[in-house]
A and B are shown apart, each in its own frame.
Chain A
Amino acid sequence: MATYRRITVMEDGGVSIVRFVDKKIVDSGTIEQLGEELSALVTVEKKNMLLLNFDSVEFMSSAALNKLISLNKKVKDAAGRLKLACLRPEIEEVFRITRLDRVFDLRKTQEDALAAFKL
């Protein structure tokens, strides 16, 4: 498995569980690198069942949201599924305001998200 600097990846029953290294995802260099690493998971490592666990993320800018939108397209193109879990209420509010809660499958807990992959 490749070495990543902005994320950690753990496998669980065919699902790649991704956690974020940075508490605040705002710096443009960090966001670019994060986007590249998430993209590589799908296009290089051929992972297409992704669960992004946000439990360590306190803040993210709209530039980071754009990377998630891009990842979502790549996962769909790879006939995969993407789920987001453990977003703190303020970040979930941003998804709601921007209607991105209609684009992404948001789950309260990692367990909820893992169970949803089996549906």
Chain B
Amino acid sequence: MSSRQPIWSCDKNLPSDLDAGHGCIEELMAAIEKAGWEGRDVFHIQMAIEEAVVNAIEHGNKRDPSKLVHVVFNVFDDLVTLSVTDQGQGFDHHNVADPTVEEHLDQPRGRGVMLIRELMTEAKYNDKGNSVWMRKEKSASEN
């Protein structure tokens, strides 16, 4: 984690509501573009944070209005760090069925976790599986 001051940061609790989640993501993406990020990196970050926030609201908190999603976003000129924590039961992130094997290709689950891992520079879940932390370093070609 960088000790520098971020250009933009956000630390807030969201209700388990997709409109609130998307509103927060829009703020993040606007800050990222304002900080000079562009192209594939922006797409990758948006895909990862969409999956993380929607998973937290829908599968973690199961849209329970009494539960919150805690998000912490930090935007630097060459690094973005994001964490998303729900108040659900978590999941066994070590044993998510591989969505790319032939028999799972037409199944709906598991793609979000895979995309987060593939598109971000690093992604880590806590043991319980109700919190994901990820970072994206700016691609060399886009510096």
Contacts and interface: CB of A to CB of B under 8 A. Distances in A.
A62 B112 CA distance: 6
Contact of B43 (A59, A66, A97): A59
Interface in B102-136: 105-106, 108, 111-112, 114-115, 118-119
A28 interface: yes
Contacts of A105: none
B6 interface: no
B111 to A, nearest CB: 4
B36 to A, nearest CB: 18
Interface residues of A, number: 22
B38 to A, nearest CB: 12
Contact of B50 (A26, A72, A98): A26
For the complex of A and B, the 9 pairs showing the least CB-CB separation, nearest first, are A99-B100, A90-B43, A66-B108, A62-B111, A61-B50, A97-B118, A62-B112, A28-B18, A69-B106
21 contacts: A26-B22, A27-B22, A28-B54, A59-B43, A61-B47, A61-B51, A61-B54, A62-B111, A62-B112, A66-B111, A69-B106, A69-B108, A89-B40, A90-B40, A93-B40, A94-B115, A97-B114, A97-B115, A97-B118, A98-B111, A103-B105
